[in-house]
Every structure is written in structure tokens, then in C-alpha cells.
Structure 1
């Protein structure tokens, strides 16, 4: 279940991208991808965490499934060659390049409740990824039917969450560096939702949240 890092560089030229946006630290982003489009997420300054969810855009209730994805690939980490599966088993996206090496899909997103339980009662008010996810879902056009029920366990791109011998999880310094990226090719008409993690209480982003960049190619 613990495969070695699999770093693969992309042949794509950033200047040829049809979309280019920087997501500031602590902010969210939601975007519709067409089949075959390639999304690159770039850790601009290193040691940042990009909490990410994928949906079948035509059937929003069919969202990313960590359980199905882990079971299909027999690996708890995501890297080049990993295919992200929905609850139905449908392929949502595949990682086609990755210069970081591995990504977490067990640690989940931070929330007011988890900040309180993990750190201290007075941390409950702090900005968190769950709130960012909810804000982005609420901003989306009503016709797409996204709601609180569409929240699910997410991917933490660039985040380092080792599994202990006892089966527990620990949050450690990231394995990513400035300019590291992961590229995913959409396998269907999909929706991607990112919370650029604002966490200040653990080393997932070196206690200093920083921007990430997203690029998209038509291929």
C-alpha cells in the first residue's frame, strides 16, 4: 500500500495554456473541465497544501471517492498513473505528470470542528478548508445543484500525511518544493473544486499559507 515516489515531468508549455490563474492563500476556486482537458496545479513557493475535490459535472452527486480510488490502485497515496474514481466507479481524472512524487487522500480537509479537536478550543473561529469549499459551492449557479451534501473526503495535493505502524495519521512537513506541480487529465465532463489551505496550526504548509497556480490545456 506504500509505493515509492513516482516523479514524472510534463511536456506541456505553460505559454500554451488556455487558462492561467493564481489562487491566493486561503481562497477557493471552482471550474468546469471538458473531457481531455489537462489541469496543472503548481505549488508556487513550496510546502503548501491544495485541498481538492472532483465531481461528475453532469451528475454532481457522483463525486470523488477516496475508498474506490485507493482500492483500485492498491496504494494510499496518489501520483503519476493514479486514476481518480467517483462513487459510481466512473473515471473522473488521471494524474499524467507529477514532480512532487506523492499526494495525500486520507487526511481530509481542516474544519472549525477539527481545529478545535486537534489544537485548541479558541482555534474554532479560524479560516478552514471546509468553509472555503462551502463558500465555493454556494457561489456556483443553482442549476448545477451543488450543496452541503456534495462534500466528501478530498485529496490534499502536496500534503505529507504519513501513516504510522499502528495505522494512525501524522501531519508532517511537505515533500513539495517551489514550482512543484501535479497534472491531471479530465476523463469526463468534470468539476474541480480547490481550497488553497489556510491552515496555521500544523506543518502542512510550513505554518505559512502561500499561493498556488492553476493552468489548463485543451488536449
Structure 2
């Protein structure tokens, strides 16, 4: 967020928590790793048609990449762009490793439950996302491959996945500029490959502000020819939506 921009909404998500909100087109959400070593898992849906959701394979293959970072766009399964990554202090965002389930978390960090441990219980990413999507009438079959902000997973020459410890530093920010109204589902549960011996409760700040006007030299639009086509798909979809319903969307 620039110095002259005013935030419309701010919040802090504790570690092992989950949340969701509808972000209108033309707004940017900034995620900030407060302490370093955070993980923010995200899913995206079209609030007007929940069958349209984030598509990780299309996002990667159409931009010829294994990782995501500044300049990349995040695509729906309809070929439209939910949001563009306009800032990434970390240089690498994972979207291939998914989230941990209850069994994996119990194996790595032991079992705890909310009844006994309250906010220090060891929530897992799968159940956290499932709780949030249930608020919108969705279920297990609607949990697609997700994005993991602040986490880096690379490969070695043999194809083994390698988790980068201390990839994200305290104060690192990632800004997502939303190109269409989007339901954002999020959790701060740890990455499934995190090797920490203690369950990592890491805070993430969330800030929403109005996006600056997209210029002709926009880094995301010009990143690849495929992105230009994605923005055109958005333009056609939004033109139809505006004609059908002139009502204004509201944040949160």
C-alpha cells in the first residue's frame, strides 16, 4: 500500500485460524507476515457463481511457471482472472502442495482439540478451509488446490520437493489486486511441509484498499500474452454482468 492510500479495512489473523470475505473488483488485499515464517492458504470463488473457483493447473500452465510471484495472475476454471499479484516481497508463492489434514498435523505436532486447548489447539488447513466454505453451502468436493502465500517449495534434480525454511521474513508483504468480485477463503494454518518441531502459530495482517488504475505498462497484464487474453475474458464477463445488474458490490 502506498503512503497516500487509505485502508478500508484491516485485521490480524492469529495462527491456526480461518476467515473469509468477498473482495469487490477494483480493490487490493495486502497480506503481511508479521513475525516471519507465516503461511496463508487461500482459495477463490466467484460469489455470483460458486461453481467457478481457482484453478491451479491452468494458472501455472498458461503462464509457463511452477511458482507464482509478482506479475502472475490467478485464474478461475472459466479462464478469467480472480486477481493479479502486484507485489511479492518473498519472490516465490507455492500453489502445488495444498494443505495439511488432521492426521498429518497430529503426526507432526501431536493432537490437541479446541475443547481442551482453546485458541492454542492445532488446527489443520483442510478442516479450516472446510469450515469456511461450509458458510457458503460448499463442501469437500469444492476444495480445489490452493495458494500458499509466504511459502516456497522447489524441486531438486530428482524431482523431490524441497521446503524453504525462513523463506518469508518479518514484514514481507504480498498484494493481490482483484480483477473481479471474489470470495476469498483463507487460513493461517502451517504449510504441510513445514519441518518445525513446534506447531507454528504465525500472525498475518490483512489490509484492504482501493486499487490504483491499471496502466498500459501493467506488469501483470504484460507478463504473458495469455494474461492479456485473461483480462479480455474478464472485460467481456464484467460487461455482461454490469448490463444484467447495475448494483454496486460492497466489501466484506
Matches within 5 A, 1:76-95: 76-95=66-85
Q: Structure 2: where are the runs of 5+ without partners?
A: 114-121, 212-252
Structure 2 distance, partners of 1:121, 1:48, is 17
Structure 2 distance, partners of 1:38, 1:161, is 25
Aligned residues: 203
Q: Tell me whether 1:130 sits opposite 2:153 in the alignment.
A: no
RMSD: 2.6
TM-score (norm 1): 0.83
Q: CA offset at residue 28 of structure 1?
A: 0.6
Judge conservation of contact 1:172–1:204 (CA < 8 Å) in 2: no
Q: Which deviates more from structure 2 when the two are superposed, residues 159-168 or residues 181-190? A: 159-168
Structure 2 distance, partners of 1:90, 1:201, is 30
Pick the aligned partner of 2:61 from 42, 46, 71.
Answer: 71
What SS does the corresponding residue of 1:104 show, helix, strand or coil? Answer: coil
The residue number in structure 1 matching 2:155 is 163
Return closer, same or farther for 1:108/1:205 CA change in 2, 3 Å cut-off.
Answer: farther
Return closer, same or farther for 1:42/1:80 CA change in 2, 3 Å cut-off.
Answer: same
Q: Structure 1: where are the runs of 5+ without partners?
A: 1-9
The residue number in structure 2 matching 1:5 is none
Matches within 5 A, 1:187-198: 187-198=179-190
Return closer, same or farther for 1:168/1:61 CA change in 2, 3 Å cut-off.
Answer: farther
Judge conservation of contact 1:47–1:204 (CA < 8 Å) in 2: no
